[in-house]
Structure formats: structure tokens, C-alpha cells
Amino acid sequence: MKIIGTGRANPAKIVTNAMLEEFLDTSDEWIRERTGMTERHVISNEKLEDLAAEAARKAIEDAGITPEDIDYIICSNVVNEYITPGLSCIIQGAIGAKCACVDVNAACSGFIYALDMADDRIKSGKAKTILVVAAEEPTRMVDWKDRSICVLFGDGAGAAIFRAAEGTGDRSDTGILATKIYADGSQYDHLCSDGGVSLNQKAGFIHMDGKEVFKVAIPSLVQGVEESLKIAGININEVNWYVPHQANLRIIDSVAKKLEIDMDKVVVTVDHHGNTSAASIPLALAESFAAGKFKKGDVIAISAMGAGFTWGGMVIRI
Ligand code: UT7
């Protein structure tokens, strides 16, 4: 299974730390020191479904395929315009594909969960070409008066196309070499929304016990990489790039240290994207491909952690 194209779309509006200082008791210094963020894209006039379709179209163009070639769409998403239908169906209609569609909500780990599903579907022979999109607008779920949460998030959509390819089943293959996903629902209330149509007929705001999540995030991100590398039979020294979920530069730094991977090999976008939930990894992948950062044969380790808690890792060779 090969990754044959990627695409991305960000809302036009950029909110800088200085803009946040204008209406919140916060500072550029605090946000940069505690999170590594300087700005984030925030959805305003756009619809998330349009950004998701734009990222998908770009990935299709990058892959050199047509929408008819796609035989399955998986969309990772937490919140969008509608409770139902799922965003995957809206994307399918917008791009003119004719295939089955499904949404997955594993919060910030959603892209890894979606790729794990795509990998299984291709390996089982049920699909040959899969579009995976992660599209998120967490800024619609924050209380803009709560400085501890609203400064952290940004919006965007990232997409990737995966195609079946013959492999030897060993570590020389390209595509997804290994995936490992986890969840622990016993701690869900450390990071959750306080609303829902059944609960109170409100969309609700994100609540996070930042310190608790911080503590869990670091070992979870490390475990995702270490366990998937073990399955792939690949040593950390053979990893060319690490693409972590982008929630906080301090978390990324600490994970890189624990993995003993040089920060030069770590893709960081949290500075200009903020935390875009499941979209953070495909946005980082698409941006890196577009910048010519990745070379053919490179081994990319990925890991994410988020609400649920969910977490996981993956190793890809391109
Ligand atoms: O994507 C899913 C996974 N999410 C994560 O991995 C996020 C994990 N958590 C974090 O990244 C960090 O915990 C945060 C960035 C959310 C917070 O950083 P922290 O170093 O844990 O800060 P804190 O929450 O302990 O707050 C420290 C101080 C507090 O003031 P006092 O009580 O020490 O006087 C806060 O009230 O900073 C204050 N504070 C702020 N000050 C200025 C909190 N938010 C802000 C703010 N501006 N925006």
C-alpha cells in the first residue's frame, strides 16, 4: 500500500498571538513559551466541508488519479456543520466520487485510526484506492473567553490517497509498514466537550485538564512510535522523519528526546497551525511533501494522542 498523493487546505484567517492579546488576558510570550505556537488558521466565512473537499481534490491531483478511481473514503472528524450525514459523504458528493464512505471520530488520533482502517481494507482486497481526509474545526468548540483553551487550537483539513501495491511483506516494502492503536476510556473526562444533543442540546466547549493530558501525552506518543517500529522490524536510527501530533512543542521536544531522535528529523508545524486535532498530521505530511522534504525511500514514523484517550503510532516508507 503506497501513499500516492497528499493535499491540504487551511482557512484564510490567521489569528496571531498578538491578536489574542487584544481580547484575552494572555501574552505572546506565554503562548510561545508554553506551547511553541505563534499563529493558527481559524475558520470564519468558510465551511469545513469545503476545506475538506479542497484538500481531497489537491490530493487527487497530486496522485494523478480521478475521483472515479477512489473506492473508499474515510474521514476523521470531531465536529462539522451536521450531526448527520458524516463529512465523508459530503466530501464524496463534492468531489464526484462514487464509493462507500465512513467517518471516524478518534479525536486527535483520528488520522492514525483512519489509516489503520485503510490499511486493513486494502490488505483484505476490499479496496484498491482509498482517500483519507482529516478535517477539523476545534475553534468552533472553544470558549473564546477561556484563555487556557482557546489559544491552543486551529482549523484545517489534510488528505492523502493510498493505493494497493504488491509487497514482499518484509521491511523493504513501501507504504504503511506497521500500525498500532490504543485507547483508555477510563480517563475520558480529562479531555472532553461539555455539550451534546442528548446531554443538553448544546454543541458545548472543549474542557481539558492540560497538566494531566500533558503527562499522558508524552509516554503515549513514545509508545506509538516504539511499538510500531518493533512490529515493522525497524530501528529508530533508520527513521528519516518523525511526524508527531502537533499539540505542544514542549511535548514534541520531550518525545524526541525520549526516542533519541534529533529535532532536525522532526516535522514541526505547531508554530503556525496550532493544534488542529486529527488534521495536524496530514497537514504536516502534505506540507512536507510540497516542500520537497521527503525523499523516496524515507522511513516516516508518526504518532498521535488525544481525547478518549486514544493514541497510536505508525511507520510508513515512501
Ligand atoms: O491534542 C490533544 C492533546 N493535548 C495536549 O497534549 C495538550 C497537553 N497540555 C498542554 O499542552 C499544556 O498543559 C497547556 C499548554 C495546555 C498548558 O500549559 P501548562 O504549562 O500546563 O500551564 P498551566 O495550565 O499549568 O497554567 C500555568 C499558568 C496558570 O496560572 P497560575 O495558576 O500559575 O497563576 C494559568 O492560569 O498559566 C496560566 N495560563 C495562561 N496565562 C497566560 C493558562 N493559559 C494561559 C494563557 N495565557 N493563554
HEC readout, the chain: CEEEEEEEECCCCEEEHHHHHCCCCCCHHHHHHHHCCCEEECCCCCCHHHHHHHHHHHHHHHHCCCHHHCCEEEEECCCCCCCCCCHHHHHHHHHCCCCEEEEECCHHHHHHHHHHHHHHHHHCCCCCEEEEEEEECHHHHCCCCCHHHHCCECCEEEEEEEECCCCCCCCCCCEEEEEEEEECHHHHHHEEECCECCCCCECCCEEECHHHHHHHHHHHHHHHHHHHHHHHCCCHHHCCEEEECCCCHHHHHHHHHHHCCCHHHECCCHHHHCECHHHHHHHHHHHHHHCCCCCCCCEEEEEEEECCCEEEEEEEEC
| CA 269, chain centre distance (Å) | 12
**Which pLDDT value is given to residue 202?**
87
**Which pLDDT value is given to residue 170?**
66
Question: Hey, whose CA ends up nearest to atom 12 of ligand 1?
Answer: 210
**pTM, entire model:** 0.96
Does the beta carbon of 90 lie inside 6 Å of ligand 1?
no
Whether residue 240 lies in the annotated active site:
no
Strand arrangement of the beta sheet that strand 100-104 belongs to: 2-9, 156-163, 129-136, 72-76, 100-104
Does the beta carbon of 217 lie inside 6 Å of ligand 1?
yes
Contacts of 243 (CB under 8 A, 6+ apart): 266, 267, 281, 284, 285, 288, 300, 301, 302
Q: Which value, in Å, is the radius of gyration of the alpha carbons in the chain?
A: 18
**Which pLDDT value is given to residue 171?**
66
Active-site residue, selected from the candidate residues 75, 89, 101, 108: 108
CA of 213, closest atom in ligand 1: 8
Residue 303 and residue 217: Cα distance in Å, rounded?
A: 10
How does pLDDT run along the chain (318 residues), one tens digit per residue?
A: 899 999 999 999 999 999 999 999 999 999 999 999 999 999 999 999 999 999 999 999 999 999 999 999 999 999 998 989 999 999 999 999 999 999 999 999 999 999 999 999 999 999 999 999 999 999 999 999 999 999 999 999 999 999 998 877 666 778 899 999 999 999 999 999 998 888 899 889 999 999 999 999 999 999 999 999 999 999 999 999 999 999 999 999 999 999 999 999 999 999 999 999 999 999 999 999 999 999 999 999 999 999 999 999 999 999
**Which pLDDT value is given to residue 173?**
77
Residue 46 and residue 95: Cα distance in Å, rounded?
A: 17
Q: Is it true that the peptide bond before 111 is cis, omega within 30 degrees of 0?
A: no
CA of 104 to the centre of ligand 1 (A): 28
CA of 36 to the centre of ligand 1 (A): 12
Pick from 151, 137, 138, 159: nearest CA to 67: 159
Whether residue 245 lies in the annotated active site:
yes
CA of 242 to the centre of ligand 1 (A): 25
**Which pLDDT value is given to residue 1?**
81
